[in-house]
Amino acid sequence: DKFYETSSLFFSKALSFVYKSQTPYKMARSKKDTSAEDERKANLRKDIDFVEHTWPAEKLYSHFGCTLEKGLSSEQVLINRGKYGENRLTPPAVTPWYIQYLLQFKNFFAGLLLAGGTLCFIGYGIDPEKDQTNLFLGIVLYIVVTITATFSYLQEAKSEKIMEGFKNMIPKKCKCIRDGKNTVVDAWELVPGDVVDLLDGDSVPADIRVMQANELKVDNSSLTGESEPQDRSTDLAKDAQGNLVMQPLEASNLCFYTTIINSGSGRGVVIGSGDRTVMGQIAGLATETSNEASPINIEISKFIQLISAVAITLGVAFFIVGFFNLEIIQNVVFMIGIIVANVPEGLLATVTVSLALTAKRMHTKNVLVKNLEAVETLGSTTIIASDKTGTLTQNRMTVMHAWVDNETYLCPPGKNIPDLAVLKQTPADEPYYDESSPAFKRLLQVATLCNNAEFLTKNDDGSYMDLKAEMNNPNFNILKQAATGDASEQGLLKLVQPLNDALETRAACPKIFEIKFNSTNKWQLSIHSQGAGRPPLLVLKGAPERVLGMCKSYYAKGEKKEINAAYNKTYTEAYEGLGGRGERVLGFAYKELTGMKDDFKFSSKPSPNFTMDDLTFVGLISLIDPPREGVPEAVIKCNRARVKVYMVTGDHPITAAAIAKQVNIISQENIDAGDAIVVKGDTIREWTEIADPIEQQKKWDEALDHKQIVWARVSPAHKLLIVENCQRRGEIVAVTGDGVNDAPALKKGDIGVAMGIAGKDVSKEAADMILMDDNFASIVNGVEEGRLIFDNLKKSIAYTLSSNIPEIAPFLIYMTAKIPSPLTTVLILCIDLGTDMVPAISLAYETKEADIMDRPPRNAQTDRLVNFRLISFAYLQIGMIQALAGFFVYIVVLNDYGYAPNILMGNGWEWAKHSVMCTINGDGSPKDCGFGCEAEDYEPGYCEGGCQVPSSNNIDPFVEFTASGFRGAGDYTCNRACSNYADIPDDKITAEEREKFVGFCAGDQTWGFSDRGFADDDAIAPVGAKYYWNGQQQNLPNKEYQQNALAYAQCAYFISIIIVQWADLLICKTRKLSLFQQGLQNDFMNFGLLFETVLGATLVYASPLNTVFGTMPLHILHWFPAVPWSMFIFTYDEIRKALMRGNPDGWLNAYTYW
């Protein structure tokens, strides 16, 4: 039962890996269907084919049969729905669940196990003794296949869950105009041509062209990665050359399905619904993309195939040999034994536990591992394709620079007042601002007053935080404090707070009038009371060129001066310099409204009743979504480990390049040398339009040959193409992302890494790992852990495979040399799933080697998990020594029980059924041995079927013995009977025996054994042989003694494997270093050594277990013959490693370093 239980564990694990490496089944299709499917996939990888956003309004209305005031008529809704379909995402084609389930059995390995189970049932059926072993094994094999198929089937539900994630994003209701009336409808009912009202906070129900807009802003971050809300207007977007922008994601008059209206309101016409939307395209890509088999999955699958091929080949080969010599049932059991001996049953359990242990360690580093195999994949990664916003950056706009007093200063915000003091003392390449400068103080005042952002200070218990007091707390972080307002205003507020309390500044100058920002003016204005009889203060912020155009003077170094050409030149250089760094630049101005009082009725309609063209320009502040802490260092670590890091973002190329430089993804030096490149989405579009696939591939290769790459302004389809082309070149790609747009690439990548905090549910579902802190630096920890686990898995495999040879060899020698079997199948399983398990797992606890992040990623084509050098080491070196140790101990023990080595060969097949007989030398040692005739066990009295007991005085002419011993080989030894005694030649019968025949046969001619043959035609005892046991000839057989002696020898062989595995475990701790350099700090390994020894002793000396596993209470002295062999293994490997270290380029290193 133990055999079947443990075999079930192995086969379940093995099958799960094999199944998961299979590509999902697709229903058979015609060539036409296949062509259509290929065309659909190709179209998904292109930009969506919208042109309606470039049409004049009249053409748009005419095309869809609508008007902006009345919308669609009820009749037109039905017509359009018939033409365009419902506003739903089409789920992927699904094979019926029962077909999917049955197809899990369509697998070579599953078929092999099912065939084995069928053979077991057949064997049980034809076995006259009805041995329950075959029945149980057959049942277990069928159960294993069924359970594993069920497990595999459940794993394939992933794509359906991803589609559910998209469905959860779809708005339920929306407001539209039909038949001239405002109405609320389910979002799925919308059709192209519907006129929809968009309000603040709404989820956009389809792809909509904006026809009316009032300060409309939309949050596109889930689609494009842009941190800032994007303005939406009715204007047709045009590029720098004045051409219409055809690419939908670049258009400013489109709102996209499932994005959020950030502020303002508008009205628009639906131009895309359901699958024909940008979101529909992403959903199609995410559910169409197949899961790629992980590198460790591929390695394990190949290893299983290799081991299975070897096991099956040997099993079948020896089954054929045994077919002519063994009974069919015995032969089947023998074949199963060969297969069991070849397959390291505990290996996959070891792999799984090792991966789980690493995943647990990763969790302490804020990485949640959904797919265990992903851990090792990260270690094999050659390219990390990372999203920018929220992964490399903090996903919050933060002030970086200020241009004031005609100089550009570094202006980083502090977390609190103590942190700010430390920050300003930190050495930097640029000067910090002068806090005492009058112009800087004025700039802060304008940034505080002309700002609608406010901190949210209410606590969960209803009390309010004292923000001013908290600013003195060194543990408080104002940068993470929640606030209202848009991202830029929040960034300005967080800059100001550690310098001047915003509430106090605003309380001193209460607001009395405001003109809000709009996309036409591109500025925001507010007027404040200064009290104490001073005139009202006008403050303005906005697009620098607009703000400067409203100014006649500037304020610098405490003086107000008139703007001139020199100042304009200085301003332009500063503005372009900051913009060139990818920073968003805002201009600030002010004016004291002399001659006006606070109670003046300010108005902006129909036009402002106060002057706005003579302001004083005070300076610039630039903001950027800054890199996360630790990211620049993490990228450097990746570069050192030869892992390329690509930035893949939908953001502007200048912004992307600026951030990429800050985090070391690209360098100016490499850009100048032509080794770094920024690839725009427009460029990828041009590549996809190339008809010749070879030429198109050439374009991709030219770009991917660069050392450093930033991919900017790319669409979700482009991200997928980037991943696919990297994989085409043999790269192992890790993809990071947090938005819906990242889902296809996350699923297609060799490993997908989603963000735990900012990540959308769709991206988390598609990913293999989740960064709980959204920090890119955690990925680098994963790379390190992945490399470590690959190293340690190699060590575990080397350790585990070494015992395969001493497990296989007994069966091979038993079959070829016909010695009594030195090892049983049950004891093999005791090793693989017992004594070897904990030591093999303990290697997962080995610490990393010093150079683990200084070497390149492993080459998947050459640096295999199991390569020739490892096989050579485990099988041909250590395994051979272990097998010799086992045979040595086996021979010693049998010799101690009286069976000398020279009598074993040729006599093994009948050892369990018949007692061996031998002639002896003069010193009493056995000379020649063999077996007698087929017979039942001896019982005192009548021997039915013939006696095995030699006659001493009375002559029995029917038996195979004479007074001097066995009659020997010949035609008339075992088959002497009344029916044939007359034919026995004189040299085979004495006169006295013939006389006895006459007397016995006169009354009954049926006496004798005419049908009896030899026990083993190839191992017939010589003439004069007698039973041999306990080291001497005997008159009576003692099959029990003979079987027990073999059981003791088999038990000693088992213990010898444990002892030589002590040395194997120690030498597998390192691949090149000496054990004396590495040390024995791995406490779990030390426990493993103790565990396998105690378990082995328990199996040997616990009486109940002797019956279950066929072990014997071994004499303590029989533990020691294997010890010198264990010492030899350790010494051999230490010398090998020393020679490798002394000559790194030598033969030993080339052919034995695994």
Active site residues: 387
Q: Hey, what amino acid is at 289? A: T
Rg (CA), the chain: 42
Spatial neighbors of 836 by CB under 8 A, at least 6 apart, are 346, 799, 800, 803, 1061, 1092
Angle, CA 270 vertex, CA 266 and CA 274 arms, to 5°: 130
The answer to whether 173 and 186 are in contact (CB under 8 A) is yes
Query: How many other CB atoms are there within 10 angstroms of residue 150's CB atom?
Result: 12
Q: Hey, what amino acid is at 822? A: P
Strands (E) located in 885-1034: 917-920, 926-930, 961-962, 965-966, 1026-1029, 1032-1034
Give one DSSP letter per residue of 148-177, joined into a string. Answer: HHHHHHHHTTHHHHHHHHHHHHS-SEEEEE
Spatial neighbors of 402 by CB under 8 A, at least 6 apart, are 408, 409, 411, 433, 440, 443, 619, 620, 621, 622
Instruction: Compute the distance between CA of residue 742 and CA of residue 279 in angstroms, rounded to an integer.
Output: 11
Q: How many CA atoms lie within 13 A of 892 on its CB side?
A: 18
Type and span of the H or E element at 398: strand 398-404
| Phi and psi, residue 197, nearest 5° | -90, 135
- Cα 661 to Cα 160, 393, 654, 778, distances in angstroms: 39, 12, 11, 20
**Would you state the structure tokens that stand for residue 613, as one six-digit string?**
């063209």
| Phi and psi, residue 730, nearest 5° | 85, 10
Count H helices, E strands: the chain? 42, 30
**Would you state the structure tokens that stand for residue 383, as one six-digit string?**
């390219």
The answer to whether 681 and 714 are in contact (CB under 8 A) is yes
Pairing mode of beta strands 708-712, 676-680: parallel
Instruction: Compute the distance between CA of residue 480 and CA of residue 460 in angstroms, rounded to an integer.
Output: 17
Nearest Cα neighbor of 308 from 6, 21, 24, 10 is 10
DSSP tag of 937: P
Instruction: Compute the distance between CA of residue 838 and CA of residue 1091 in angstroms, rounded to an integer.
Output: 7
Nearest Cα neighbor of 504 from 546, 444, 558 is 444
**Would you state the structure tokens that stand for residue 1032, as one six-digit string?**
């001497």
Instruction: Compute the distance between CA of residue 717 and CA of residue 284 in angstroms, rounded to an integer.
Output: 10
Residues 348, 352, 357, 359, Cα dihedral to 10°: 140
Spatial neighbors of 789 by CB under 8 A, at least 6 apart, are 354, 355, 358, 375, 376, 379, 844
3-state secondary structure of 770: strand
3-state secondary structure of 261: strand
Q: Hey, what amino acid is at 644? A: K
**Would you state the structure tokens that stand for residue 176, as one six-digit string?**
């539209």
The answer to whether 453 and 486 are in contact (CB under 8 A) is yes
Nearest Cα neighbor of 516 from 525, 528, 508, 507 is 525
**Would you state the structure tokens that stand for residue 542, as one six-digit string?**
């906005």
Sign of CA dihedral 729, 735, 741, 743: positive
Type and span of the H or E element at 1061: helix 1039-1067
The answer to whether 525 and 450 are in contact (CB under 8 A) is yes
